[in-house]
């Protein structure tokens, strides 16, 4: 089987995987990074969002091979030790999560937005989150968390 190599959360990781292996399966099953979740099979729910070379993508709609050589960041790579990333902290502070299943994708998506827009409006946050489904929160607190997190990030991370 072919080898893919990528930098995941700052560490070089390799694996021998079938070409059809999706990035999310490589992360979850080969690297044991189970923080990235799978909630659908039609690229809609966004539970699987990770960063590839700094932008958010749906890891269920990306081959591991397509990320060969890339810098990949997952939810496990966001915090600095036990110190939460400002976006994670904002989600905690604003109760932007309940069951936690959509949360990793939601946070990774939010960080991408904040990197582009340090002070997004409510409308901009809601539009940006189109690719992330949450069934628990009604999005109200997620929106507040993303706005606060973006401000806390100070316009980039």
The binder of other proteins chosen from 14, 119, 121, 122 (CB under 8 A): 122
- Does 109 interact with other proteins (rule: CB under 8 A)? yes
Nearer to other proteins, 119 or 127 (CB): 127
x/- string (CB under 8 A) for other proteins, residues 27-66?
-x----xxxxxxxxxxxxxxx-x-----xxxx-xxxx-xx
Q: Residue 129's CB: how many other CB atoms inside 10 A?
A: 20
- Does 103 interact with other proteins (rule: CB under 8 A)? yes
34 phi and psi, to 5 degrees?
-85, 5
Q: Residue 61's CB: how many other CB atoms inside 10 A?
A: 15
- Least distance to other proteins, CB of residue 55, Å: 5
Please report the DSSP string for 31-79 in residue order: S--TTS----SSS-S-TTEEEETTEEEEGGGSBTGGGTT-EEE-GGGTS
Using CB under 8 A as the binding rule, the residues of this chain from 1 to 30 that contact other proteins are 2, 18-20, 22, 28
């Amino acid at each position: 089987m072919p080898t893919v190599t990528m930098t995941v959360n700052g560490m070089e990781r390799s694996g021998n995987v079938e070409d059809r292996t999706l990035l999310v399966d490589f992360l979850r099953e080969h690297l044991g990074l189970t923080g990235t979740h799978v909630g659908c099979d039609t690229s809609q729910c966004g539970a699987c969002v990770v960063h590839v070379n700094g932008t958010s993508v749906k890891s269920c709609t990306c081959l591991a091979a397509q990320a060969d050589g890339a810098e990949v960041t997952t939810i496990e790579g966001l915090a600095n030790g036990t110190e939460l990333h400002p976006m994670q902290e904002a989600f905690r502070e604003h109760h932007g999560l309940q069951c936690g299943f959509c949360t990793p994708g939601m946070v990774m998506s939010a960080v991408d937005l904040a990197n582009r827009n340090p002070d997004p409006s409510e409308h901009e946050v809601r539009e940006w989150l189109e690719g992330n489904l949450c069934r628990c929160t009604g999005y109200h607190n997620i929106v507040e968390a993303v706005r606060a997190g973006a401000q806390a990030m100070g316009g980039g991370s």
